[in-house]
Amino acid sequence: MSSDETPNVPSPRNSREAVREKAQQVHAKQSRARIMRRVIIGAVAIVAVGAIGTAVTLAVTSSVSEPSLDPQGLAGDGIEVNSISDGDIETVPSTPAPDESAAGTEEPAEPTPDPTAAPAADVHVYVDYLSPGSGEFERANSRQLAGWIDENAATVTYHPVSMLTASSNGTKYSLRSAAAAACVATHSPDKFYAYNHELLVDQPDVDSSGRSDVELADLAVAVGVDTPKVVRSCIEGQDFVTWAKEATSRALAGPLDGSDDLVLTSAPMIVVNGEVYVGALDDPAEFSQFVLTVASETEPTATPTPTPTATPTP
């Protein structure tokens, strides 16, 4: 697929600043609400003291452990992105246009492969939201991935994993953000792509504390989840933390979804039709070539169609 065939996408800067500003506004509003709740809680605390003895007795006599919660609607341990709305791709960076002023001074560029000419590729992207490489891949390739999804040229499934749980000053940001993504995928699947994209392109630094659960919930509200209260409760309650930990363990043990014998060795890890991509994470042309090659090998009858190149003006 050429960059000409991909939908024109607005510059990410203003859109991302708007998302950040909205997240800050949501955070301020939630902070005020918490203060009011504390005042109310303090007013009834004395009354509650009398019930403590009864509560302790009930807890001892009828101790029941809460069941582990699993996300809904997932393909294995991954979230398949079936469609992307215009609002969701406003933050996707556009591919820089070639420098036309150099036309006629250099040899014509090699044709860029068009993945739409090959059978639909099965793309699985294993991401850690604290991994710099995961963010680098998303920033470089999100625009063409969005185009492939829109044109049914590829199925794209994201797998949140927590490889860097110990690299966030004890806050376990890698684990909590993966669980937060699962909350959005379960309760507002149409907004998963936008939330996943924001987590990847606006990452905290490794060995920093990262976002709190409240801030992760604020971001979900900012991207426009359908059920903000439910999603907030899921994220702040860490409903899917156990699932995120177990999903990572399953990936490390293998086989990975989309493969026969692969195991997770790093994040990001991109698997296309069962083959691991080992090229540059920040080179969308190289990744596009890899996808086209793998898809063509899977279906030998497909004939790649090169993108026409402009004829230099004398």
Percentage, residues of the chain above pLDDT 70: 64
DSSP letter for each residue of 140-200: HHHHHHHHHHHTTSEEEEEEE--TTTTSSTTS-HHHHHHHHHHHHHHH-GGGHHHHHHHHH
Q: For 25, phi and psi rounded to 5 degrees?
A: -65, -40
Single out the residue of 139, 123, 268 nearest to residue 197, CA to CA.
139
Instruction: Read off the pLDDT of residues 219-267 as tens digits, 9 standing for 90 and up.
Output: 999 999 999 999 999 999 999 999 999 999 999 999 999 899 999 999 9
Q: What is the pLDDT of residue 15?
A: 65
Q: For 67, phi and psi rounded to 5 degrees?
A: -70, 150
Instruction: Read off the pLDDT of residues 43-55 as tens digits, 9 standing for 90 and up.
Output: 444 434 344 444 4
DSSP letter at 275 equals E
Answer for the pair 122, 159: CB distance below 8 angstroms, yes or no. no
Strand ranges inside 47-135, DSSP E: 79-81, 121-127
The CA distance from 194 to 199, in Å, is: 9
Neighbours of 80 (CB within 10 A): 18
Q: What is the pLDDT of residue 85?
A: 73
Bin 210: left if φ > 0, else alpha if -120 < ψ < 50, else beta. Answer: left
Question: What is this structure's pTM?
Answer: 0.72
Q: Which residue has tokens 């080179």?
A: 283
Neighbours of 75 (CB within 10 A): 13
Neighbours of 306 (CB within 10 A): 12
More confident residue, 63 or 205: 205
Single out the residue of 85, 89, 97 nearest to residue 4, CA to CA.
97
The CA distance from 244 to 264, in Å, is: 14
Domains of the chain with bracketed CATH: 69-94+110-298 (3.40.30.10)
